[in-house]
Amino acid sequence: MLTAGQLSTVVNEVLADPPPRIVLDLGGVTFCDSQGLGTLVVLSRKASHARTLLVLSNVGDFLLRVLDITGLRSALMIRNETAP
Note the pLDDT tens digit of each residue in 30-81: 899 999 999 999 999 999 999 999 999 999 999 999 999 999 999 999 998 6
The yes or no reply on domain 3-79 and CATH 3.30.750.24 is yes
Domain ranges of the chain: 3-79
Buried b (16+ CB within 10 A) or exposed e, 18-38: eeeebebebeebeebeeebbe
| Per-residue pLDDT at 10 | 95
